[in-house]
Each structure stands twice: as structure tokens, then as C-alpha cells.
């Protein structure tokens, strides 16, 4: 279900997907599923689903389902913009700005932080989906964290 400019619900087509799990990210619940139509794992907000039916059909079997890693999925997300995750390099210009990075990426930063020779700044490699939401998060850091390599 989506909404038009007048906040009226507009119907979207029926999707048949193989559910993998439900998760809670940024105060919303998402159904993570495998779409045979798109041949990839996708996430859909549960509160935007009008009807969910169990068809009792066997789900798709896919290497992409078997390889799905929830922790990796959640760490690369900024909002639920879909896309391909990639490694980028950030310049951290104030030591205290490591806190929001650790808050979001956790232990996945271990081994990906290189302290610069000045001892006060660092370069950090992170895996993200380079989305408008991620770029907004970086912009909100007011130059204290910058993307230096995409």
C-alpha cells in the first residue's frame, strides 16, 4: 500500500515472495523476503501491507536466501532504501565522532579504522547502501565525518 499526494491509500499489485524473517529497524517492522521476480532479498514495511496471505505454497529456494545475513543487512541500512551495499571510506575529523559510527556499525568497525598520523583523526572503511538517507546522515555530521572515497 502506498499513498498519493492527498494522503489517500492507493492500491499496489499483489506480490508473491518467500518470507525470511521479520525485523525491527528505526521504529518500524519489516518483512524481509526473497522476491523471485527481482531475484533478490528485499524488505517491506509491515504497516504498509494491506493483506498478508499464507498461500501454503513451498517457498523459493535460493542461494541468496541461504546467504542472507541480518546483521550485515541492518548495518548497511540507513532507512530502508534498497540498493547494493558497497565499501566507502570516511574521514573522521573529530575523535568524538567515532561514537555515532560505533553506535551504528558496532564491532564491524574493528579492523577498518586507521588512525591518521596526527593522532586526532581517522579514516574508516564501512559497508553501506549509498542512499539519500545515508548522505543525509553524513550531512548532519556538519563536516566532522566526510565521505572521501565511494
Task: Tell me the CA distances in angstroms from 131 to 60, 84, 93, 128, 146, one per residue in order.
Answer: 28, 10, 22, 8, 15
**CATH 3.30.70 residue spans of the chain:** 85-149
Q: Does 125 score more than 90 pLDDT?
A: yes
Average pLDDT rounded to a whole number, residues 75-92 = 78
Q: Which grid cell sits at 27?
A: 521504529
Q: Give the lowest-confidence range in 17-26, 93-102, 110-119, 140-149.
A: 17-26
Higher pLDDT, 125 or 68: 125
Q: Does 126 score more than 80 pLDDT?
A: yes
CA diameter of the chain: 61
User: With bands split at pLDDT 50, 70 and 90, how would you rate the model's confidence at 3?
Assistant: low
Q: Which grid cell sits at 95?
A: 575523535
Cα–Cα distance measured from residue 32 to residue 15, given in angstroms and rounded to the nearest whole number? 13
Q: What is the DSSP string of 113-130?
A: EEE-TTSS-EEEEEEEE-
Are the beta carbons of 150 and 99 closer than 8 angstroms?
Answer: no
Q: In the block, which residue shows the cell 564491532?
A: 107
Long-range CB pairs of 52-57 (<8 Å, 24+ gap) are: 55/16
Q: Does 50 score more than 80 pLDDT?
A: no
Q: Of 3.40.50, 1.10.3470, 3.30.70, 3.30.1460, which CATH number belongs to 85-149? A: 3.30.70
Helices assigned H by DSSP within the chain: 63-66, 70-76, 98-105, 132-139
Amino acid at each position: 500500500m502506498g499513498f498519493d499526494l492527498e494522503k489517500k491509500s492507493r492500491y499496489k499489485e499483489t506480490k508473491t515472495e518467500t518470507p525470511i524473517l521479520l525485523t525491527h529497524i528505526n521504529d518500524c517492522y519489516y518483512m524481509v523476503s526473497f522476491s523471485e521476480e527481482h531475484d533478490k532479498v528485499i524488505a517491506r514495511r509491515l504497516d504498509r501491507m494491506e493483506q498478508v496471505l499464507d498461500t501454503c505454497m513451498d517457498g523459493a529456494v535460493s542461494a541468496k536466501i541461504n546467504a542472507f545475513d541480518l546483521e550485515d543487512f541492518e548495518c548497511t541500512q540507513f532507512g530502508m532504501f534498497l540498493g547494493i551495499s558497497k565499501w566507502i571510506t570516511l574521514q573522521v575529523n573529530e575523535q568524538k565522532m567515532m561514537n555515532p559510527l560505533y553506535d551504528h556499525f558496532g564491532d564491524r568497525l574493528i579492523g577498518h579504522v586507521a588512525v591518521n598520523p596526527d593522532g586526532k583523526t581517522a579514516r574508516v572503511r564501512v559497508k553501506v547502501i549509498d542512499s539519500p538517507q545515508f548522505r543525509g546522515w553524513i550531512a548532519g555530521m556538519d563536516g566532522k565525518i566526510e565521505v572521501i572515497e565511494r
